[in-house]
Amino acid sequence: MIASPLSTTVHAAGAAFDRLAPVYDDKFTETLIGRAQRNSVWKVLLETFRPGDSILELNCGTGEDALFLAQHGISVLSCDASQEMITHAEQRLKAQPVPLSVVFCHLPTERINEFAPARRFDGVFSNFSGLNCIEDLAPVAASLAPLVKDGDRLLLCFSTRVCLTEIFYYLALGQKKKALRRLSGHTQATIDGVSLDVYYPSLKQILRSFSPHFRLSSTTGIGVAVPPSYLEPWARNHPTAFRLLCRLESFLARVPLLRTTGDHVLLCFEKVSQ
Ligand SMILES: C[S@@+](CC[C@H](N)C(=O)[O-])C[C@H]1O[C@@H](n2cnc3c(N)ncnc32)[C@H](O)[C@@H]1O
């Protein structure tokens, strides 16, 4: 299916996430906030794809969404730049009580054009900011276009450029630099001593990158009322307030303007005929 074997060149984001892989599920997937934000994504995911569909998943991490999709009758080919994430995902797949239609593949999104699938996918999915690790999204959009049919959908979840909760939270702590860190569109994060470039494209920039091949069909806020995951200790200490925010989330997630000022935004694109 892939034209050439994966090059031995180290992928910077992949190497950084290799460090996070062993603790990623504890630090995010299994947290109250991680679960709440993912549940919001899953709701849209099941509205977008149907049993019998075959989906390409980008930056799959430890495979949480791939397993969920497969449990709902959707076949998944899931890729990630981190070998450790893929190894972890494969172990989770093997531990499933029933066989699931998932294949995990160590492949960075920048090399997705090397896919030569026997038939086209019914859609593409990317969750929780894997695409924020890529500076130029236009080549990614161009590589995805031939992999799906006209009218098929891409469901892509980005970290936003403006996260109001983050701005207010860090300003309240007097940490102006952290409060405004996303606004420049680029930061350098460090995972366990390994640095990683993270990009925060504006909605306009994302649309421009995808527009030659795809048109935006819906926008859902993720983490608009529910806070970013670093507020997990607060969520655990304030269960009633957190439950209230979870209830507010489904309403705020659809409010124009507000829906793009949460922690993440989930964009649904439709392939246009060319
Ligand atoms: C925050 S994690 C999200 C993982 C998963 N999608 C989830 O929902 O839990 C970001 C993932 O993107 C992957 N990633 C980052 N840059 C990538 C790239 N250029 N190509 C493929 N995967 C990438 C990382 O290895 C990591 O697994």
User: Tens digit of pLDDT for each residue in 204-236?
Assistant: 999 999 999 999 999 999 999 999 999 999 999
Q: Does residue 7 lie in a domain region?
A: no
Q: What is the C-alpha separation between 266 and 46, in angstroms, rounded?
A: 13
Give 152 Cα–ligand 1 centroid separation in angstroms: 23
Residue 230: other Cβ atoms inside 10 A: 13
Average pLDDT over residues 105-115: 94
Residue 63 — left, alpha, or beta (φ > 0 → left; ψ -120 to 50 → alpha)? Answer: left
Is residue 94 in some structural domain? yes
Provide the pairing of β-strand 264-271 with 214-222.
Answer: antiparallel
Regarding the beta carbon of 64 and ligand 1, being less than 6 Å apart is answered: yes
Q: Which atom of ligand 1 is nearest to the CA of 57?
A: 6
- High-pLDDT (> 90) share of the chain, %: 93
Structural domain count of the chain: 1
The confidence band for 244, taking pLDDT boundaries of 50, 70 and 90, is very high
Is the CB–ligand 1 distance for residue 84 below 6 Å?
Answer: no
Residue 6 lies in a domain: no
Domain that holds residue 203: 12-271
Q: Count the neighbouring beta carbons within 10 Å of the beta carbon of residue 58.
A: 23
- Is the pLDDT at 1 greater than 80, yes or no? no
pLDDT score for 9: 66
Structure tokens at 163: 């996260």
Length of the chain: 274
Domain membership flag for residue 2: no
Report how far ligand 1's centroid is from the alpha carbon of 24 (Å): 11
22 part of a folded domain: yes
CATH number for position 130: 3.40.50.150
Element of type H or E holding 77: strand 75-80
Q: Does 4 map to a domain?
A: no
